[in-house]
Amino acid sequence: MILQKKSFNSLEEFLNSSDQSYQILHIDLKGNEIGDEGLSCLSLGLGKCTTLSDLILELCGNKIGAIGVSGLGVDLGKCTSLSNLTLDFLWNKIGDKGSSELGSGLGKCTNLSNLTLNFQGNDIGDEGALGIGFGLGKCTNLSNLTLSLPDNEIGSTGASGLASHLGNCINLQNLILNLGCNKIGDQGSSGLGFDLGKCTSLSNLVIDLLDNQIGSIGASQLGNNLGNCTNLSNLTLNLSANVIDDEGASGLSFGLGKCGNLSNLTLEFCCNKIGDEGASNIVSGLEKCTNLLNLNIGLSYNEINNQSQVKSMYLKFKRLVVFRIKF
């Protein structure tokens, strides 16, 4: 008999369950400190759930390392019917090897259409990001992906390589990518935009690049490359706490001007080095976005002196239905 839905809040309860015929499974073990040994036991149990289509696995704060996660990747690869998967590994210790092994396992789940991964604070580095991307690049049926990788010591190589593999997900329509508080720099920002520009099916995109040492070159090339995502209708970019100046803000916006189908755009530039000229040029660059209806701009803690003059430039954007600017 196939059981449609079941939730577990303890490892023992799941392991003692005699029936593995689940379609929908939610296991919440936050802060239980199950470690590698506990995750290995959990993984073996999941590998037997061959009818599983939906899985939510919450494991934040469990002192899990590479060994435990590697086993999970192997056993999840046996769940070939999985179409919806959420894995939360916030603040564990899985490292580059563990994340790569997990990515390899997920690459065997070729029926995945909706995937959410949270690896914040796991020291996965460039190698881990590349490994995750390599696996996900095989999930060509993915249409919705949320990938949270802040605080992971990821540099330009990891960011570019990750995006390069995601470019193989030709059916990807909705992507949320959080790379905040890493070290991707100009080169990583440029590579990220170049490869995501190949995801021509994307209609909704959120990229968080908070505090990543990105300057004007990286911002300009990011915008120019994302301009190739011609089907984008909703875009949110968080570039706060970087080193972007007037040239970078202008270059980014003129690049995004190629996204003719954009209707909703949020740009967050808090804590950069943008002055009056750059702030004004943002709206000039977006003038070619003839379908743009909703615009949100965050410019707090920059180098803008004449706020009223800058705001007047945006008010000339007559077709906007909703407009917000924050200094």
Predicted confidence (pLDDT) per residue in 194-205, tens digit: 999 888 899 999
Answer whether 180's CB lies under 8 Å from 212's CB.
Answer: yes
Query: What pLDDT does residue 1 have?
Result: 47
pLDDT in tens, 268-307: 999 999 999 999 999 999 998 999 999 999 999 999 999 9
Is the model's pLDDT at 96 over the cut of 90?
yes
pLDDT at 38 over 60: yes
189-327 maps to which CATH number? Answer: 3.80.10.10
Please say whether the beta carbons of 38 and 65 come within 8 A: no
pLDDT tens string 123-180: 999 999 999 999 999 999 999 999 999 999 999 999 999 999 999 999 999 999 999 9
Say if 1-183 and 189-327 have the same CATH topology: yes
What does the DSSP 8-state code read for residue 303?
Answer: B
Decide if domain 1-183 falls under CATH 1.10.1760.20.
no
Length of the chain: 327
Tens of pLDDT along 248-269?
999 999 999 999 999 999 999 9
- pLDDT score of 77 more than 50: yes
Question: What is the model's pLDDT at position 21?
Answer: 81
pTM above 0.85, yes or no: yes
212 to each of 159, 188, 242, how far by Cα in Å? 11, 9, 6
Domain boundaries, the chain: 1-183, 189-327
